[in-house]
Chains A and B, each alone.
Chain A
Amino acid sequence: MNKVLRIDMENLSHKWENVKPEHQTYAGRAFTSITLSEEVDPTCHPLRAQNKIVVSPGLLAGTLAPSSGRMSVGAKSPLTGGIKEANAGGLTGTKLGSLGVRGIIIEGAPPDSEDWYSILVGKDKCEIIKTNDYAGLGLYELIGKIWKDYPTKPGIIGSGIAGQRLLKCAGVFGNNIENSDPGRYAGRGGLGAVFGSKRIVAIISDGTGGTRPAAKDQEKFDAARKVFVKSLNAHAVTGRLNDDKGEPFGGLKNYGTNVLLNILSEAGGLPTKGFSSGRFDKAAKISGEAVHDLVDRTKKKFGDKAEGKYAHSCHPGCVMACSNVVPYEDTGKMHVSPLEYESVWALGANLGISVLHDVAELNRLCNDLGLDTIEAGNTIAMFMEAGLIPYGDGPKSIELLKKAYDESSVEGKLVSSGTQTAGEALGVTRIPVVKGQALPAYDPRSIKGIGVTYATTPMGADHTAGYTVAAEILGIKGTVTDPRDLKKAELSQAFQATTAYIDSTGYCLFIAFCILDDDDGFNAMKDTVDSFLGQDIEVTSYGKDILRKEREFNKKAGFTEVDDRLPEFFRTEPLPPHNVVFDVPDEELDEVYKNM
């Protein structure tokens, strides 16, 4: 039976509640967003006691459905001032799913507390523990320490140094399966700082005694998940590592998400050096292909001792396995895990840095400090834009980011405070944000549908909220829907609605590459959800319900149509090499939510 754990940090108490009857179909993003919209005053200060953190494993987390163990974190965002959901893999989703925890709602804050706390969740139990010894640590050290203190290999999520200091670049970290890296981030929106505001370092989920969640129609569920696995394995994007001849086959397994770097650069859509060009002439050096080769090289050289990997899963049961472990060239030991497209872009191409080691080091520092890589990379770009560091200078960027450890360093605070804050403080006028959140790795001037998503999603600039790139650049299509025939507003709306549904199921968004291409895959995926719940869920209307609630929250928080716009320079500065501007009219942007 599913339960909701409600924690009150003001008096350090907790209680278990039943899932409300009208919330029975909600999990993941549906659960976090609908709970926030019902329980949180949209005008509250995001870093004070009135805000709440909601954590919810996706609907199928803990089951045997493939790649279904994602977990959502939601709160009012200190970065955007609006509603936020960010999701990640790692261990916590699966553990909470198997413990029958539908959601954790954390409210209040300890009054005037100097103390730090962690929350231990287990089978029918919850403890709020004073853990001052966990605060202020680098996250590689912290996760190691927690696994020593709790030898049952728990899932861990929480805030690092940046979040504990209430800085807006802070993401919610998560440990990986091996507990070797805290890099499974629900990164965006500064949610790590909300943990800090509640004086929480970590939520530790101990799965001992957990069981696999049962489907209402188990037979149908099992049949459907098997069909779905087959479909994922057969697709050239999501599929198996090698083909029958032993040649590389699945794109994600071989090259990770960073397979995109070269294609976006070739297409002229890869934001380079602070969104001043769409092509990075050195993209190949830090691309997924380069990581693949580095892993193979170090394997050859160091044999069993080599720690580099591709086809690495971010959570138990992911069959697409887009994650990786990037090794040091000279020792073969792990440098960082994962190194994914968005991070390589934010900390590499966006800064003009083409030394793979430097990009990996910047990513490792972000993971250790508790920073969102996308926001941190864009923030460093503001220092470059202001002329404080030259574009392309890896060592100076590393030096700057290291200042974030030092509590007394103003530069360290600034680099952890987000793109808009840093840009404005440094006198920059080209600040790539929507609703205060920095743009990810697709330039909206050459890929206009994603620009519509950036502008209109309630999340602030976020590619995952409506990944039109799949249709616009990658040519993913199928007979279920052919999104390429649609106008950009309709295209973005369709992707935003489907995404809100997927973000609630626990499935990784990357299943979309397969299910949009393959009817059997789509139907099998939908069957797993329907048979699990014992009711027929209409994908788009389920998604739209969530979007409407999120939109309503933002409206009450003070957002208007004017907030659904890209920064001016995207409309006025042509982007080389195609010399295009963002020219989707405002009326079309407004249509995305007008017709919902």
Chain B
Amino acid sequence: MLVNVKLYATLRKFAPDGVEIGEAFPIEIDKATIDGVLERLRIDKEQAKIIMVNGTRITRLDYALSPNDTIVIFPPVGGG
């Protein structure tokens, strides 16, 4: 199944070379959950602190994804 992923801040290193900041890139996953995305991209669960699917924050790693969903992942961040 094909989904789109955006990675920010310290997670950008897991995106393919040449992907711009804020640019979504497509990936093919076998397991249609957030877990599946993290495994596929080799991102540590601890690192994936804030996850949004189509703009909505989700907290469950077994959240079921649909084709063409956009998944946005942030590491722990803070500011003010």
Contacts and interface: CB of A to CB of B under 8 A. Distances in A.
Interface of A: 235-238, 247-249, 251-252, 254-260, 262-263, 266-268, 279, 283-285, 287-290, 293, 322, 340-342, 463-464, 467, 470, 473-476, 509-510, 513, 577-578
Contacts of B10: 236, 247-249, 251, 254
B79 A341 contact: yes
A284 B22 contact: yes
Interface string B4-31: 0010111011000000111100000000
Nearest to A342: B80
A237 B22 contact: no
A141 to B, nearest CB: 30
B76 A236 contact: yes
18 contacts: A236-B47, A236-B76, A247-B13, A251-B10, A254-B9, A260-B79, A262-B21, A263-B50, A266-B8, A266-B52, A267-B55, A283-B22, A285-B21, A293-B21, A474-B49, A474-B77, A509-B80, A577-B55
A463 B80 CA distance: 8
A464 B80 contact: yes
A329 B20 CA distance: 18
Nearest to A249: B10
A113 to B, nearest CB: 38
Nearest to A250: B10
A474 B21 contact: no
A412 to B, nearest CB: 30
A264 to B, nearest CB: 10
Contacts of B20: 284
Contacts of B47: 236
A268 B55 CA distance: 7
A252 B77 CA distance: 7
Contact of A474 (B6, B12, B50): B50
Contacts of A473: 50, 57
Contacts of B9: 248, 251, 254-255, 259, 262, 288-289
Given A266-B55, A340-B79, 16 more contacts: A237-B78, A248-B13, A251-B9, A251-B77, A255-B77, A259-B8, A262-B8, A262-B21, A262-B22, A266-B6, A289-B8, A341-B79, A474-B49, A475-B50, A510-B79, A510-B80
Contacts of B50: 263, 473-475
A236 B75 contact: yes
A322 B6 CA distance: 24
Given A254-B9, A263-B8, A266-B6, A238 B80 contact: no
Given A263-B50, A288-B9, A252 B21 contact: no
A474 B8 contact: no
Interface residues of B, number: 24
B21 A290 contact: yes
Interface in B54-79: 55, 57, 72, 74-79
Nearest to B47: A236
B49 A475 contact: yes
B59 to A, nearest CB: 8
A38 to B, nearest CB: 30
Contacts of A284: 20-23
B21 A289 contact: yes
Contacts of B23: 284
Given A251-B9, A284-B22, A474 B78 contact: yes
Given A262-B21, A289-B8, A267 B52 contact: yes
B72 A266 contact: yes
B2 to A, nearest CB: 20
Contact of A470 (B8, B57, B78): B78
A238 B78 contact: yes
Q: Give the most central of B52, B55, B75, B79: most A CB within 10 Å.
A: B79
Nearest to B73: A266
A236 B46 CA distance: 10
Contacts of A249: 10
Closest 9 CB pairs of A and B: A284-B22, A257-B79, A513-B78, A237-B78, A236-B76, A284-B21, A260-B79, A251-B77, A289-B21
A332 B75 CA distance: 29
Given A266-B72, A289-B9, A256 B80 contact: no
B22 to A, nearest CB: 3
Contacts of B12: 289
Contacts of B49: 236, 474-475
A293 B21 CA distance: 10
A342 B6 CA distance: 23
A258 B21 CA distance: 14
A485 B53 CA distance: 23
A251 B50 CA distance: 13
Contact of A259 (B52, B55, B79): B79
Nearest to B6: A266
Nearest to A516: B78
B77 A341 contact: no
Nearest to B22: A284
